[in-house]
Structures are given as C-alpha cells and as structure tokens.
C-alpha cells in the first residue's frame, strides 16, 4: 500500500492516562486527543506499536494470577489449602516458602514432619519428600501452584523415601511467558487470538524478560501494521493483559510507556471494490428490509379496509 501523507507518532505514559484499570493494577487507561485523527474517503488508517518500556514489577505468583494455593494432607487428616504470599519467586525461593508453610501445618496436626524440596536444574525437575513418607497433594484445583513445581493436574502421594518428582517441566512463569498490549477502542479485523479464534484488539505480544524488578524495552524488528476499520480516532484506550483478556497484568503501580505510529494509506483498487461491494450489499439488505416492512404496512392497511367494508355491509343488512 502507498502512504498518502506523513505518520503520526504518539507517545504514551501510563501516569498520564485516565485509569480504566480494575483493582488499581495500573494496566489500563485512556486519553483524549487534542485534535481528532481523520482519514479521507480514499484512505485507511493503520496503527503499530514500535516500542515499549515495561517494568518487570508484576508477580509471577499471586491471587491476581490465581496460582497461589497448595492443597495437601497428611495421613487421615482432611485436606488443607494453604495460601502462598504473593511475590516474584524463583523455584528455590518458592521451595523455601512452601517448606515453611507445610511444616507449620504438619506441626498443627502433631506430626512435625520435615519437608525437603530438591531442584534438579539439569532436567528442570523438582522432588518433594518429607520425613514421615506420608503426604498427599491435590494439584487439581484451578488456583494451584502446580506448574511452578512441575506437576500436571493430578493427585500426588508421598508414600516412600523417594517422595514425588515433577511429571512436567518446572515453569516459574506459570505459562505467562508474554504480555499483550491491546487497543480496545480501535477496531480491526486483522488479528485473531488462538484462545478464542475470534478477532482481537491485540497490537503486540511482548515476551517477558526473566530479570525481575527491572525495566525491559520491547522494540520489535518489524512492527505489525494493524489496519483499522474506523476512519476517525478521537481517543486511545490501552489495556495490558496476559493472553486471556480478562486476566490483567498487575504492575503494582509501577509506570510503563509505549509508542504508537498512526499511518495513512491509499485504499487499493481491490480494497475499494471490496468496500464498495460490502456497501452495496449492506444497502441492498437495508432496502429489502424496508420493502419487507412496507409490505407489512400495506397488507395491514388492506386488511383494515376489508374489515371496515365488511362492517359497513353488515350494518346495512336488515334482520327479519
């Protein structure tokens, strides 16, 4: 496509936005443009994210991520679900925290078992043992930390000195390997997400850097130009989530920045024909709907006239 005029570069800082985030996550906001961006009849608008500066301030384990629980029991005791404090853990730190929680609960039950978490980095597996060789873990709930520990959705039982060992890779990201930058108020029919199979408002997928509590810069080698449906932009809304749009990134009030480019392109002949056909088809459908309604109205008028005629005739009939 050929450009019809110069681009518009938009710099966005989260601190400047009117927040639309839930629970003070600082992941979403909106700002109004001083002057509307308008495309001519022979133009289309595109938007692309060319760079972003993201704070790695969000936790990998938290209530917001619904992955901060562990459910277990010892012997004949009933299952207990323990809550792990929110934070950014590596596997060794998480093992230390879980050891404290499990041993405290074991003391409450009167067993006083000692738990050991042994991580094997070469194979990326974790082995859990306890001194009583007696514990059962329920990793089937939706809010479990099982992926951190490297377990599938299953019941795992310690009944020997060998304990239990991960049956999948240890994953401290809990499958949250990327964050998604969305522009909810800019419509397009060019992006499709695998989790829904539907058109999406995503303009960029940003891989998460492993280094926590730092800022990382995202600069795609080739940014994606997303063709917009509308011809006018008067505000920009931004929403940063994980893959599920309903799962917001909680930046813990840390600020982020991103840069957008709005471009103007000439509508190709093929696109013109497609849009003309779409417009003609829409017009034809509207005309048919109008004709249908008009026919109903006319039929109703005829029915009323026949009814009135019959009523008048009946009034003139003399009954002996």
129-144 pLDDT, tens digit per residue, is 999 999 999 999 999 9
Question: Higher pLDDT residue, 4 or 288?
Answer: 4
Q: Is the pLDDT of residue 275 over 60?
A: no
Domain ranges within the chain, ordered by starting residue = 8-58+176-267, 69-165, 268-320
The predicted pLDDT at position 290 comes to 66
Tens digit of each residue's pLDDT (9 = 90 or more) over 105-125:
999 999 999 999 999 999 999
Tell me, what DSSP letter sits at residue 276? Answer: H
Is the pLDDT score of 277 beyond 70? no
pTM beyond 0.95, yes or no: no
pLDDT at 295 > cutoff 90? no
Provide the 3-class DSSP secondary structure of residue 248: strand
Q: Which of 2-11, 32-41, 108-117, 307-316 has the lowest mean pLDDT?
A: 307-316
Longest dimension (CA), the chain: 111
Q: In what order do the strands lie in the sheet with 28-38?
A: 18-19, 28-38, 232-241, 178-182, 202-207
Cβ(206)–Cβ(162) below 8 Å = no
Q: Can you name the residues that pair with 202 across neighbouring β-strands?
A: 182
Q: Is the pLDDT of residue 279 over 60?
A: no
Average pLDDT over residues 196-222: 88
- pLDDT tens digits for 146-155? 999 999 999 9
- pLDDT at residue 258 above 90? yes
Tens of pLDDT, residues 61-74: 999 899 999 999 99
**Is the model more confident about 306 or about 8?**
8
DSSP symbols for 170-229? --TTTT--EEEEE-TTS-BSS-B-TTT-SB--EEEEEEPPS-TTSEEEE--SS---EEBS
Beta bridge partners of 267: none
Q: State yes or no: pLDDT of 306 exceeds 90.
A: no
Element (H, E) at 96: helix 91-109
Identify the bridge partners of residue 10 per DSSP, sorted by sequence position: 260
Structural fold of domain 8-58+176-267: Jelly Rolls (2.60.120)
- Burial (CB count within 10 angstroms: exposed 0-12, middle 13-18, buried 19+), residue 8: middle
pLDDT band at residue 289 using 50, 70 and 90 as cut-offs:
low
pLDDT tens digits along 228-237: 999 999 999 9
Read off the pLDDT band of 270 (50, 70, 90). Answer: low
126 pLDDT higher than 60: yes
Residue 35: the pLDDT is 93
With bands split at pLDDT 50, 70 and 90, how would you rate the model's confidence at 197? confident
Q: Is 278 a residue whose pLDDT tops 60?
A: no
Residue 296: the pLDDT is 74
pLDDT at 269 > cutoff 70: no
Do the Cβ atoms of 17 and 238 come closer than 8 Å?
yes
Position 313 scores a pLDDT of 72
Confidence band for 280, pLDDT divided at 50, 70 and 90: low
Decide: 66 and 244 in contact? Cβ < 8 Å.
no
Task: Tell me 317's DSSP state.
Answer: P
d(CA 49, CA 10) in angstroms, rounded, equals 10
**Does 283 score more than 70 pLDDT?**
no
């Amino acid at each position: 496509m050929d450009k019809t005029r110069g681009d518009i570069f938009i710099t966005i800082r989260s601190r400047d936005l009117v927040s639309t985030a839930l629970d003070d996550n600082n992941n979403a906001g909106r700002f109004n443009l001083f002057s509307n961006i308008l495309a001519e009849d022979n133009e289309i608008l595109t938007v692309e994210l060319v760079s972003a500066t993201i704070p790695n301030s969000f936790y990998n384990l938290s209530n917001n991520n619904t992955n901060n629980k562990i459910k277990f029991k010892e012997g004949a005791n009933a299952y207990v679900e323990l809550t792990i404090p929110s934070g950014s853990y590596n596997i060794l730190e998480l093992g230390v925290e879980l050891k404290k929680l499990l041993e405290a609960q074991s003391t409450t039950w009167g067993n006083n078992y000692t738990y050991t978490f042994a991580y094997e980095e070469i194979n990326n597996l974790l082995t859990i043992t306890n001194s009583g060789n007696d514990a059962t873990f329920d990793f089937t709930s939706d809010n479990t930390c099982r992926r951190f520990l490297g377990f599938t959705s299953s019941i795992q039982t310690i009944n020997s000195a060998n304990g239990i060992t991960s049956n999948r890779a240890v994953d401290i990201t809990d499958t949250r390997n990327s964050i998604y930058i969305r522009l909810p108020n800019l419509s397009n029919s060019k992006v499709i997400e695998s989790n829904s199979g539907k058109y999406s408002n995503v303009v960029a997928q940003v891989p998460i850097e492993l280094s926590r509590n730092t800022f990382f810069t995202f600069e795609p080698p080739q940014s994606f130009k997303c063709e917009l449906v509308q011809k006018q932009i008067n505000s920009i809304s931004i929403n940063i989530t994980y893959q599920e749009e309903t799962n917001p990134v909680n930046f813990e009030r840390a600020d982020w920045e991103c840069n957008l480019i709005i471009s103007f392109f000439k509508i190709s002949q093929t696109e013109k024909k497609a849009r003309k056909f779409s417009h003609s088809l829409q017009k034809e459908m509207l005309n048919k709907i109008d004709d249908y309604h008009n026919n109903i109205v006319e039929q109703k008028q005829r029915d009323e006239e026949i009814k009135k005629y019959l009523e008048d005739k009946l009034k003139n009939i003399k009954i002996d």
